[in-house]
With several copies, the nearest count.
Chain A
Amino acid sequence: MRSKPSITTRFLPGLITLVSAVVLWEICVRLFQISPILLPSPSTVWVEFWKMPSFFLYNAGVTLVVTLAGFFLAAVFGILLAVVIVSSKTLERPVFSALVALNSVPKVALAPLFVVWMGIGPEPKIAIAVMLAIFAIVIDTVLGLRSVDPDMINLARVGRASAWQILTKVRLPCALPSIFAGLKVAISLALIGAIIGEFVGSSSGLGFAILTAQGQFDTPGLFVSLALLIAMGSLLFNLMEGIERLSIPWHTSVRSH
């Protein structure tokens, strides 16, 4: 019975939150005279950004590319693995066990080994982004694929649908809402993965910018990178939500919302 919210009403509250958080932060920093080396004020961060806008934007771009590549690969392989898990009784446990094992290893610990094995190109960063993002996609897709009403499968079987058709025409569409939940979690994790990768070995990207800023005790510079990360993360997440809305207008979670 709710009417559809317009773009403004959708994003205004978020924006207001953001702005008030920033203002509050500025006031606190000034009031308590917090040293900029500990916590710089938003205005300091803003000024810092405009000292080298192209540097920050370039590095943000580098991180964005790694994030998207990692996310994309995680989406493709994650959904693929979920399909394998759901389709094959034989492969289910092995694949799942391997995945859980892989996911239990903190990538931060593995990252140095990755660099040792793969060098310092974009590959280890993408690999880390993929590894971090893929798990949520697999788990959510598996849930989605398994939550199909058995009679819907029966409907397709009566139409003599092939296993492939049951997958693409019944299971996957049914699983889309779950898949999107996984993708929304994954896009954030891919971003974090990219940064972790850049921490370990890279000479560009926001992860690199953060590290060098840390090395110089340049807290304002560090915060510029963090702010850009927040902006990027929010943008990517909202983008995913938009795609979700366009892709599954038929689902209760979108309809009733």
Chain B
Amino acid sequence: QGVEALSARMDFAPWGVQAAMHLAQVKGWFKDVGLDVDVQDGRGSANTLQLVNAGQVDVGQVQLGLVPQARMKSATVRSFAGFARATDLAAVVDRDSDYKTVADLKGKSIVCFAASPWAPFIDYWLAQGGLDRSTVELLLVDPAALWSTYTTRRADAILSTGPSIIPPAEAVRPSRGILASDAGVNFPSYGLIASDETIEKRGDALKALVASQQKAWAYLRDGNAGEGAEAMIQQRPTIKLTKEVLTRQIELTIETFETPATAGKPIGWQADADWNAALASMEKANAIPSGLTLSDIFTNDFIG
């Protein structure tokens, strides 16, 4: 029995959410399940989703909330595992500021990038605090400029994900997040996607991949986040990764793993209830029309 090659593309440059992949690589857990996985860095969730859809890579690890939108635009990808099942989208602000809700950001400057998963929800989200684009200063910049805009205090808030931003910000601008879900934006976070075709034809490989990831995430959850960070540093020697930051990112990511609807279910298992709530908020935000079927968006067939 030979090993099967599989390419898996991440969302962005290496950060904590990708730890399970690198850990499985280092621990040999891919080999254990008969896989030879090529873990690639990405250029944004949207871009990775496009590549999966075009067949350029087999599997993507992306913000799953993008799948319904993509599906509407005739993409043929589905999620086959959802790890971070709660929303991690957040408005990140100074830790000791007194911003608590959307409404508190009135008159403040908020930075985001145009291709962000946040983009379609911004107006809806602002509206929950009685705001709109005329009552806040919305700066849309390149993803690369996002960070420097926030850390040089050109913006009061950054629309991003809590787990990715808060740990590295600790050193330069200690921050905390105001979760998007507080304002009714329920957006499923990181998980794995593949094209309908791959799902149909390479089920065994996907199943094996999910198994290895479940094992890795469980291991990380059980107090071994630091090892995940080390695995990443080992796998990406030329990139200046900081163990503390990665560890914290892993921990924060794991905090988004549980929703009431998935309590007690295996890691990666997705609940109809969560997705229905997600679709409802997307419909309200006019990000998608109504009428999507859940089976077009995700499957639990590969969760062992």
Instruction: Mark A residues whose CB is within 8 Å of B.
Output: 35-38, 52, 55, 108-109, 111-117, 119-120, 199-203, 208-209, 211-219, 221
Contact A38/B238 with A115-B56, A119-B154, A217-B70 known, Cβ cut-off 8 Å = no
B142–A116 CB distance below 8 A: no
Complex: A98 Cα to B14 Cα, angstroms: 35
Contact of A217 among B51, B139, B147 (CB under 8 A): B147
Contact of B43 among A52, A55, A201, A209 (CB under 8 A): A201
Q: Which residues of A contact B115 (CB under 8 A)?
A: 211-212, 214-215
In the complex, the chain B residue whose C-beta lies closest to that of A117 is B54
Q: Which residues of B contact A112 (CB under 8 A)?
A: 43, 47, 50, 142, 144-145, 147-149
Q: Which of B13, B69, B72, B138 has the most CB of A within 10 A?
A: B13
Q: Which residues of A contact B113 (CB under 8 A)?
A: 211
Does chain A have a CB within 8 A of B131? no
Contact A203/B145 with A116-B56, A214-B13, A215-B14 known, Cβ cut-off 8 Å = no
> Can you list 6 A-B pairs, Cβ within 8 angstroms, ordered by A?
A35-B53, A37-B148, A201-B149, A211-B144, A214-B147, A218-B240
Minimum C-beta distance from A27 to chain B (A): 19
B142–A201 CB distance below 8 A: yes
The 6 closest A-B pairs by CB, nearest first: A215-B13, A215-B115, A211-B114, A201-B141, A217-B73, A115-B145
Q: Which residues of A contact B191 (CB under 8 A)?
A: none
Q: How many residues of B contact A (CB 8 A)?
A: 53
Contact of A215 among B15, B54, B138, B145 (CB under 8 A): B15
Does chain A have a CB within 8 A of B295? no
Contact of B74 among A35, A114, A203 (CB under 8 A): A35
A38–B54 CB distance below 8 A: yes
B139–A201 CB distance below 8 A: yes
B142–A199 CB distance below 8 A: yes
Minimum C-beta distance from A205 to chain B (A): 11
Q: Which residues of A contact B238 (CB under 8 A)?
A: 52, 55, 209, 212
Q: Which residues of B contact A203 (CB under 8 A)?
A: 40-41, 138-140
A115–B53 CB distance below 8 A: no
Contact of B69 among A114, A216, A219 (CB under 8 A): A216
Q: Which residues of B contact A218 (CB under 8 A)?
A: 73, 239-240
Does chain A have a CB within 8 A of B93? no
B114–A212 CB distance below 8 A: yes
In the complex, the chain B residue whose C-beta lies closest to that of A55 is B238
A215–B117 CB distance below 8 A: yes
In the complex, the chain A residue whose C-beta lies closest to that of B236 is A212
Q: Which residues of B contact A199 (CB under 8 A)?
A: 43, 142
Complex: A115 Cα to B47 Cα, angstroms: 9
A38–B43 CB distance below 8 A: no
In the complex, the chain B residue whose C-beta lies closest to that of A120 is B139
Q: Which residues of A contact B15 (CB under 8 A)?
A: 215
Does chain A have a CB within 8 A of B46? yes
* B1-24 interface code vs A (CB 8 A; 1 in, 0 out): 000000000001111000000000
Minimum C-beta distance from A186 to chain B (A): 24
Complex: A221 Cα to B119 Cα, angstroms: 15
In the complex, the chain B residue whose C-beta lies closest to that of A217 is B73
Does chain A have a CB within 8 A of B174? no
Contact A37/B46 with A115-B142, A215-B115 known, Cβ cut-off 8 Å = no
Contact A115/B148 with A37-B75, A211-B114 known, Cβ cut-off 8 Å = yes
Q: Which residues of A contact B120 (CB under 8 A)?
A: 215-216
Does chain A have a CB within 8 A of B151? yes
Q: Which residues of A contact B240 (CB under 8 A)?
A: 213, 216, 218, 221
Q: Which residues of B contact A120 (CB under 8 A)?
A: 40, 51, 56, 139-141
Contact A217/B49 with A115-B154, A116-B148 known, Cβ cut-off 8 Å = yes
B69–A217 CB distance below 8 A: yes
Q: Known pairs A112-B148, A211-B140, A214-B114. 6 more at Cβ < 8 A?
A: A37-B70, A37-B148, A120-B139, A120-B140, A216-B120, A217-B69
